[in-house]
């Protein structure tokens, strides 16, 4: 397996919740659809150099392809020193980026506090850890509330659509044929 194929497999494993597939157009073509999921479109770039730069043209093509396919754009690069995941910042992705970063900060902070649990030996350290935990907890509940609100709105809309599309008016007046009219029987 080549380096770019390994990178694409890495991206598939990162996005396994989105049912990603490697496309036949991936690897070395000018197509941006290297790994496509239900909601994501990932472009992968590999270099053996120590530094990597994302070309403006690559990012513009990714944004265009993601817009055309109605997918969330992700740019994943691998270079000699590691991997980087980049997401273009634009008006339709910025609110999502804020939520993603908030979630990352919450997880990072909780992991750090978890590491500190063995160092809590004084009331001052306990107060500091408790204060940091309360900040992270508040961020989490804000994010949780925002997502629950959006999920609830979507559930209500879908419930209403189900009712609209399957509801029959039992009291609707249907006119019966007049007596003596041809009602489908042969006369």
For 2-11, which contacts have Cβ atoms below 8 Å and span 24 or more sequence positions?
Answer: 2/27, 3/46, 3/48, 3/78, 4/28, 4/44, 4/45, 4/46, 7/44, 7/46, 7/76, 7/78, 7/83, 8/34, 8/35, 8/44, 10/76, 10/78, 10/83, 11/35, 11/42, 11/44, 11/74, 11/76
Q: Do the beta carbons of residue 46 and residue 3 sit within 8 Å?
A: yes
Q: Is the pLDDT of residue 181 over 70?
A: no
Q: Residue 159, SS3? A: helix
Q: Tell me how far apart the alpha carbons of residues 20 and 96 are, in angstroms, rounded to a whole number.
A: 20
As a whole number, mean pLDDT of residues 167-186 equals 64
- What local confidence, expressed as pLDDT, does residue 3 receive? 83
Q: How far is CA 161 from CA 43, 73, 112, 147, 155, in A?
A: 36, 30, 45, 21, 10
The radius of gyration of the chain from alpha carbons, rounded to an integer in Å, stands at: 27
Mean pLDDT is lowest, of 17-21, 132-136, 145-149, 160-164, for 160-164
pLDDT single digits (tens) 5-31 = 889 999 999 999 999 999 876 655 555
Rounded to an integer, what is the distance from CA 177 to the centroid of its chain?
Answer: 56
What is the distance between the alpha carbons of residues 152 and 158, in angstroms, rounded to a whole number? 10
- How far is it, in rounded angstroms, from Cα 115 to Cα 132? 13
φ/ψ of 35, rounded to 5, equals -135, 120
Residue 35 — very low, low, confident or very high, per pLDDT cuts 50/70/90? Answer: very high
**What confidence score (pLDDT) does residue 54 get?**
83
Q: What is the pLDDT of residues 85-117, one digit of tens each?
A: 998 888 888 888 889 999 999 999 999 998 888
């Amino acid at each position: 397996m080549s380096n770019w194929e390994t990178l694409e497999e890495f991206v598939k494993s990162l996005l396994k919740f989105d049912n990603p597939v490697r496309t036949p157009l991936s690897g070395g073509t000018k197509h941006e659809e290297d790994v496509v999921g239900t909601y994501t479109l990932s472009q992968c770039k590999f270099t053996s150099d120590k530094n990597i730069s994302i070309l403006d043209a690559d990012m513009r093509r990714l944004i265009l392809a993601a817009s055309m396919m109605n997918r969330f754009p992700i740019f994943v690069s691998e270079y000699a020193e590691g991997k980087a995941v980049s997401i273009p910042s634009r008006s339709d992705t910025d609110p999502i980026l804020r939520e993603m970063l908030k979630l990352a900060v919450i997880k990072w902070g909780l992991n750090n506090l978890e590491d500190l649990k063995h160092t809590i030996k004084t009331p001052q350290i306990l107060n500091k850890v408790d204060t940091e935990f309360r900040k992270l907890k508040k961020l989490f509940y804000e994010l949780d509330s925002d997502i629950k609100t959006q999920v609830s709105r979507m559930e209500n809309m879908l419930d209403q659509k189900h009712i609209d599309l399957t509801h029959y008016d039992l009291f609707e007046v249907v006119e019966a044929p007049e007596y003596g009219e041809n009602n489908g029987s042969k006369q």
